[in-house]
A and B are shown apart, each in its own frame.
Chain A
Amino acid sequence: MGWLLALPFLLPIATGLLAMAARRRPRQARAISLAGCIGLFVVVVIIFVRVLDQGTIAAQMGNWPAPFGISLVVDRLSAIMLLLAGLVGLAVAIFAQADVDLRREVLGFQGFYQLLLAGVCGSFVTGDLFNLYVWFEVMLIASFALLILGGERAQLDGGIKYVALNLVSTLFMLMAIGMVYGLTGTLNMAALHVAFAEVDQPAALHMLAVLLIVAFGIKAALFPLYFWLPASYHVPPVAVTAVFAGLLTKVGVYALIRTFTLIFPADFRFAHDLLLIAALLTMLSGVIGAASQFEFRKILAFHIISQIGFLVLGLALFSPLALAGSIFYMVHNIVAKTNLLLISGTARRMAGSFKLAEIGGLYRASPVLAAVFFIAAFSLAGFPPLSGFWAKLMLVSASLEQAAYWVAAVALITGALTLFSMSKIWSEAFWKPHPQDGVRALASLSATERVQRMLPAILLVAISLGLGLFPQPLIHFCEVAAKELLDPAAYVATVLPARDG
């Protein structure tokens, strides 16, 4: 059991080391990386099935009993996040085979990519706060490398801002961890749940909450801490942007959900109110930022921010339906957003630019690409019967349930503005003719490249469509997962050895 839970990070680390050793033979490195991603996907599917079957599972590393050693814990939330990480990892790895140039491969792209997946998966399985910090750092250093790999001037420019702000976030997290340990004497999350219930120092709790919200808020790109994201997400190769958009900010949201459901007591209204305000402003400022952009990838980058607002909204409302909505939104968003970025990369390959003014005619050049974009984009905007509709429906009805009408209003306005941006891309990139008639048909790409670019997009859009047409199993899963989060007794009992009394 211990090995199974450690595999989601051991496997990518091993693959990454092999790929790094083989980086001067890019063909081999690619094959190793792809095989590793397939292996990772199989592992996360096995874990997911097991969690569906048995509920929360835990393993103690090195047989040190909790809370003394490092616990690995996978509950339903972790399981679905792992599954998504495996899916995105695989989809982007296939796409990267066509998208990432040889020079970056020789510099070690595949190795850093695997290391990034290890950091992401490690963050999802760990049950220890300090270990979470370590995985964050693994993820961070890999993302630094991926972001500036190639060393183009714009990459360095965007990279320095990304690095500067994310380092501040880890320092906040480190300080908060030190203080949590000073306050309770443990860093095991399950033990912290027990210990925090007995802490009688509201001042310390408030300070820790703010420190952690800032630390994870920078990672998750919450308002007003998101300025690194629009500065940097459009500079690396599009495969890198896609995996960042799919996974990195979501790890921040995952950490927020974990912290404020498991560690902090459930009646800690202060943090929920703070998160609610941040979530609403994130939704609005992200979507308004997107409306002002005229570049395919920059529009999508601002929409990442706006949707982070929705994810945190569910946590802030803190009801079973709202949290279930958050998790559903997470699934929908990771799939749709990664896909849109992959499509933007193929669109640039065909039409020659990300700038909407300089491209066009993609509908005529490739109806398949257009159809895939159409479904993913309108899913993102929340059109029935696509997956985004159910996600928004759950969150809006959760806010109506609590009579928070203005929250529902902000969510609906954000949805409408998302539709505006998506229609803009549709009419500019796909519908209008290309300004210089420079668009090349998808058929003109080599057969291998066509498969590498279109297979992941079609796979992801099929999932989006499936979730939209048959949402019931996932909604049910999310409801059970939310119930687990709101009542962590089972989680704590699985991790900690039975206590007397």
Chain B
Amino acid sequence: MESALVLVIGVMVAAGVYLMLAANLLCYLFGLILLSNAANLVIFVAGRLTRAVPPLIPKGQEAPVVPVANALPQAMILTAIVIGFGLLAFTLALVVACYRELDTIDSDHMRLAEPPPDSGEH
């Protein structure tokens, strides 16, 4: 189960990086979404996976009798999802603002802050 999910994470990271390397800012954003979900899955796997075993401790015992998944990483993922969602929304708004103001979402054409040497800095 873990190894299958690890493969999924690998594919998501590869696809995410591929998209982020494109000059198009929207592609970059989609890549970022994939990568950020891959990161969440990494935390998920780190808490171990068990199929249909609730992390409950039977009466009279001090620890679960069968191996159970750790629930804490899942709480962390929730935090990370919320933060990630906020950042992605911000980035999307920024991309839209760039499109309106600079008339392009091709990062190769965005040279306003660092003009190429031949165009002169003035």
Q: Which residues of A contact B (CB under 8 A)?
A: 130, 133-134, 137, 140-141, 144, 148, 151, 153-154, 156-161, 163-164, 167-168, 170-171, 174-175, 177-179, 181-183, 185, 230-232, 234-235, 294-295, 355
Known contacts A178-B39, A178-B73, A157 near B112 by CB under 8 Å: yes
How far does the alpha carbon of A183 sit from the alpha carbon of B48 in the complex, in Å? 11
Is B113 among interface residues, defined by CB-CB distance under 8 A?
yes
Q: Nearest-CB distance from B46 to chain A (Å)?
A: 3
The answer to whether B91 touches A163 (Cβ under 8 A) is yes
Is B45 among interface residues, defined by CB-CB distance under 8 A?
yes
The answer to whether B35 touches A171 (Cβ under 8 A) is yes
A-B contact pairs, 5 of them (CB 8 A): A134-B83, A156-B102, A160-B107, A174-B80, A175-B42
The answer to whether A157 touches B35 (Cβ under 8 A) is no
Q: Nearest-CB distance from A305 to chain B (Å)?
A: 14
List the B side residues contacting A158 at CB < 8 Å.
112-114
Centre residue among B43, B86, B111, B114 by max chain A CB count within 10 A: B114
Q: Nearest-CB distance from A235 to chain B (Å)?
A: 6
Mark each residue of chain B from 95 to 118: 1 if its CB lies under 8 Å from any CB of chain A, else 0. 101100110000100111110000
List the B side residues contacting A231 at CB < 8 Å.
113-114
Q: Nearest-CB distance from B93 to chain A (Å)?
A: 10
The answer to whether A178 touches B112 (Cβ under 8 A) is no
Of the candidates A141, A154, A167, which one forms a contact with B113 in the assembled complex, judged by CB atoms under 8 Å apart? A154
List the A side residues contacting B35 at CB < 8 Å.
168, 171
The answer to whether A355 touches B121 (Cβ under 8 A) is yes
Query: Which residues in window 29-85 of B have CB below 8 A to A?
Result: 32, 35-36, 38-40, 42-48, 70, 72-73, 76, 79-80, 83
How far does the alpha carbon of A140 sit from the alpha carbon of B90 in the complex, in Å? 11
Centre residue among A134, A179, A182 by max chain B CB count within 10 A: A182
Centre residue among B20, B70, B73, B111 by max chain A CB count within 10 A: B73
List the A side residues contacting B80 at CB < 8 Å.
133, 174
How far does the alpha carbon of A154 sit from the alpha carbon of B98 in the complex, in Å? 10
Is B8 among interface residues, defined by CB-CB distance under 8 A?
no
The answer to whether B32 touches A160 (Cβ under 8 A) is no
Number of B residues near A (Cβ < 8 Å) is 41
Known contacts A134-B79, A161-B113, A232-B113, A141 near B90 by CB under 8 Å: yes
Of the candidates A141, A151, A174, A230, which one forms a contact with B86 in the assembled complex, judged by CB atoms under 8 Å apart? A141
How far does the alpha carbon of A435 sit from the alpha carbon of B95 in the complex, in Å? 39
Q: Nearest-CB distance from B37 to chain A (Å)?
A: 10
Nearest A residue to B72 by beta-carbon distance?
A181
Known contacts A160-B95, A167-B32, A182 near B114 by CB under 8 Å: no
Nearest B residue to A136 by beta-carbon distance?
B83
The answer to whether A160 touches B47 (Cβ under 8 A) is no
Listed from nearest, the 5 A-B pairs whose CB atoms lie closest are A182-B46, A178-B43, A158-B113, A157-B112, A178-B42
How far does the alpha carbon of A147 sit from the alpha carbon of B101 in the complex, in Å? 16
The answer to whether B114 touches A159 (Cβ under 8 A) is no
The answer to whether A160 touches B94 (Cβ under 8 A) is yes
The answer to whether A164 touches B98 (Cβ under 8 A) is no
Q: Nearest-CB distance from A23 to chain B (Å)?
A: 19
How far does the alpha carbon of A232 sit from the alpha carbon of B25 in the complex, in Å? 17
The answer to whether A179 touches B46 (Cβ under 8 A) is yes
Q: Nearest-CB distance from B1 to chain A (Å)?
A: 15
The answer to whether A174 touches B113 (Cβ under 8 A) is no
Of the candidates A133, A137, A153, A183, which one forms a contact with B112 in the assembled complex, judged by CB atoms under 8 Å apart? A153
Q: Nearest-CB distance from A372 to chain B (Å)?
A: 27
Q: Nearest-CB distance from A64 to chain B (Å)?
A: 13
The answer to whether B101 touches A156 (Cβ under 8 A) is yes
List the B side residues contacting A160 at CB < 8 Å.
25, 94-95, 98, 107, 110
Centre residue among B45, B46, B112, B113 by max chain A CB count within 10 A: B113
The answer to whether A181 touches B73 (Cβ under 8 A) is yes
The answer to whether B113 touches A234 (Cβ under 8 A) is yes
How far does the alpha carbon of A151 sit from the alpha carbon of B102 in the complex, in Å? 11
Q: Nearest-CB distance from A153 to chain B (Å)?
A: 5
The answer to whether B97 touches A156 (Cβ under 8 A) is yes
Of the candidates B20, B28, B36, B102, which one forms a contact with A157 in the assembled complex, judged by CB atoms under 8 Å apart? B102
How far does the alpha carbon of A148 sit from the alpha carbon of B107 in the complex, in Å? 17
Nearest A residue to B41 by beta-carbon distance?
A178
